[in-house]
Amino acid sequence: EAGVAQSPRYKIIEKRQSVAFWCNPISGHATLYWYQQILGQGPKLLIQFQNNGVVDDSQLPKDRFSAERLKGVDSTLKIQPAKLEDSAVYLCASSWELERQSELFFGEGSRLTVL
Amino acid sequence: DQQVKQNSPSLSVQEGRISILNCDYTNSMFDYFLWYKKYPAEGPTFLISISSIKDKNEDGRFTVFLNKSAKHLSLHIVPSQPGDSAVYFCAASAGGNTPLVFGKGTRLSVIA
């Protein structure tokens, strides 16, 4: 079974530039999550989708971050404009159902460095 | 305000001995707890979980203990192996579709 795919693995940009990350969840997984993991911290949820609808985006900085999940499969997370404090690993995860949070499958992450 | 706390950033254990990783939480609504393991340059992978109706759950070399009155859980690895060297995250959920809250992680080094 193929895992959660993310790209790019690494991205370096200057502040005020924009960046986009892509995620392809495990086939059949209805729920998709984007987490932000800052160095030395645990993952923090940014946004949670069930199929192509948003379940929770309360911790997403909406002035600069946006995410979409078209057709309930792939998802894109965008940051525009980036700030220095956005330097982090962005983890995408998926699961079969909303309530089975023990079965979160994570991708390898996209590491963002903002200079 | 950290709702899930892992107060030891790192732990070093000899191969064959027991590793004990600790986690404290503050939110009394949490009723489901999980441990994830993370190797460098990889995403976290699920290791073991425990529901608040239990005080112990065992899976091979891994056992999680939950003390609800103390709002404390611990992960025991016996015997520890070099391949267990990784960062371990404690996570908690208040059930339903509430998101997991993660601790900062503890880096375990198992020395051969």
Q: Does B43 sit within 8 Å of A109, measured CB to CB?
A: yes
Q: Give the residue from chain B lying closest to A106, CA to CA.
A: B43
Residue whose structure tokens are 């790192």: B10
User: What's the pLDDT at A100?
Assistant: 54
pLDDT at A97 over 80: no
User: What would the pLDDT profile of B30-81 be if each residue is shown by its tens digit?
Assistant: 999 999 999 998 999 999 999 999 999 999 999 999 999 999 999 999 999 9
Nearest to A19 by CA among A103, A92, A87, A77: A77
Take residue A111 and report the two structure tokens written for it.
């590491």
User: What would the pLDDT profile of B78-92 be if each residue is shown by its tens digit?
Assistant: 999 999 999 999 999
User: What's the pLDDT at A104?
Assistant: 86
Q: Which residues of B touch A (CB under 8 A)?
A: 4, 6, 9, 32, 34, 41-46, 49, 89, 91, 93, 96-97, 99-100, 102-105
Distance CA A45, CA A66 (A): 13
Q: DSSP class of residue B100?
A: P
What is residue B11's three-state secondary structure?
A: strand
